[in-house]
């Protein structure tokens, strides 16, 4: 156990320093993750000191992981999200347990925890806070990340692994599963007074989380490069009228025909709403109800048509098929071939060959 705690301390400090100095992305999500690594290093360190001195104060490092996981995911998927001073109350449960355990001297052992004495109220409170924190933060984190992934095709014209947050969704799912097991082990520990290594399991999993977030956190790019400015709603009604939908559709199609924004592989619905001075809600409603496509389908249909034109134009004879795909706004060969085949029932090569017949 002690070896694991010292490894966790060293790894968390190393990762925190690496994030602070090496990662160029200074987004809010990155800052939250950096702070979390240093706090977890402190948790590993204090617990390691406890073990080396023969003490084992009651602690729950996940009381700080839970809210930071929630705010990290929220900062990634909500472009306008900002931390405010009132958010600091989310760390109070962790401070209450950490400081309270040292003041009361409550130990993290079955005999100590199960004993009825003057600190019983504190131990019961810690148990309730731990469960409430786990459920209250992990479930919303899971729901928000899942909803974000479902809505990707209404937000982005190009979808790759750096914006899908598949790694984060898997981490949250496994976290919920393993922490549920840890809590069951803890209950067995308290009721039967039989050692189930619940604390060892918790800190071992915490170390795994440090490695996962250190690796994927460095790779994760900022999904929304700029905060979307607050705009006045163009349409104040919850739903657009038929006349308004037609107007927005005409604006959208006219802009795509003349300006060809789809040639930008990084085009998002936020970019489009700023250019057209329309709300995202208005664009999404028109795309889904009036045009019958999500944003991803709408943009990539224009890209596919542009590819068709270039393949049939003698001016681009010397261009490779892949080069034409990139020129038309696709950011990878795989997405280009996948979208083109789905739209035309032919690969780009087959389509080019059909033109020669």
Closest CA to 302 of 351, 253, 245, 246: 253
Domain edges within the chain: 2-219, 242-355
* Cβ atoms of 59 and 112 closer than 8 Å: no
pLDDT on residue 233 = 41
pLDDT on residue 194 = 59
Structure tokens at 267: 């085009």
User: 120-150 and 62-77 helices cross at what angle (nearest 10)?
Assistant: 20
CATH H superfamily, domain 242-355: Homeodomain-like (1.10.10.60)
d(CA 156, CA 48): 46
Domain 2-219 has CATH 1.10.1740: no
pLDDT on residue 73 = 93
d(CA 65, CA 133): 10
pLDDT on residue 183 = 75
pLDDT on residue 107 = 67
Q: What pLDDT tens digit does each residue of the chain (357 aa) get? A: 788 999 999 999 999 998 888 767 678 899 999 999 999 999 999 888 888 887 777 788 889 999 999 999 999 998 778 888 899 999 999 999 888 888 877 766 656 666 676 777 887 888 889 899 999 999 999 999 999 999 888 888 888 878 899 999 999 999 999 888 877 776 776 666 655 566 777 788 889 999 999 999 888 888 876 444 444 344 444 478 888 889 999 999 999 999 999 999 989 998 899 899 888 889 999 998 899 999 999 999 999 999 999 999 888 888 899 999 999 999 888 889 999 999 889 999 998 888 876
Structure tokens at 311: 């393949």
């Amino acid at each position: 156990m002690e070896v694991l705690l010292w490894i966790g301390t060293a790894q968390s400090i190393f990762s925190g320093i690496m994030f602070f100095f090496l990662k160029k992305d200074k987004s809010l999500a990155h800052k939250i993750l950096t702070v979390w690594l240093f706090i977890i290093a402190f948790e590993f360190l204090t617990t390691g000191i406890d073990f080396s001195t023969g003490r084992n104060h009651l602690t729950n490092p996940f009381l700080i992981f839970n809210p930071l996981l929630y705010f990290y995911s929220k900062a990634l998927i909500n472009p306008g999200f900002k931390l405010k001073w009132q958010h600091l109350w989310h760390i109070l449960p962790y401070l209450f347990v950490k400081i309270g355990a040292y003041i009361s001297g409550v130990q993290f052992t079955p005999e100590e925890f199960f004993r009825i004495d003057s600190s019983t109220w504190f131990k019961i409170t810690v148990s309730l806070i731990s469960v409430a924190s786990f459920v209250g933060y992990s479930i919303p984190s899971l729901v928000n990340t899942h909803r974000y992934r479902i809505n990707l095709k209404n937000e982005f014209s190009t979808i790759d692994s750096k914006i899908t947050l598949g790694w984060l969704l898997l981490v949250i799912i496994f976290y919920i599963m393993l922490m549920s097991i840890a809590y069951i082990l803890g209950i067995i520990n308290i009721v039967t007074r039989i050692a189930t290594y619940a604390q060892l399991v918790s800190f071992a999993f915490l170390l795994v989380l440090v490695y996962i977030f250190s690796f994927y956190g460095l790779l994760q790019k900022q999904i929304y490069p700029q905060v979307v400015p607050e705009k006045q709603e163009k349409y104040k009604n919850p739903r657009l009228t038929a006349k308004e939908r037609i107007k927005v559709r005409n604006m959208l199609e006219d802009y795509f025909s003349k300006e060809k924004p789809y040639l930008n592989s990084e085009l998002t619905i936020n970019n489009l709403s700023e250019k057209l001075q329309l709300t995202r809600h208005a664009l999404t409603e028109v795309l889904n109800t009036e045009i019958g496509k999500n944003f991803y389908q709408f943009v990539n249909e224009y890209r596919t048509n542009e590819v068709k034109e270039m393949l049939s134009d003698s001016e681009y004879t010397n261009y490779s098929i892949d080069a034409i795909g990139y020129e038309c706004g696709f950011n990878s060969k795989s997405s280009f071939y996948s979208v083109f085949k789905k739209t035309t029932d032919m690969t780009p090569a087959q389509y080019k060959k059909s033109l020669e017949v």
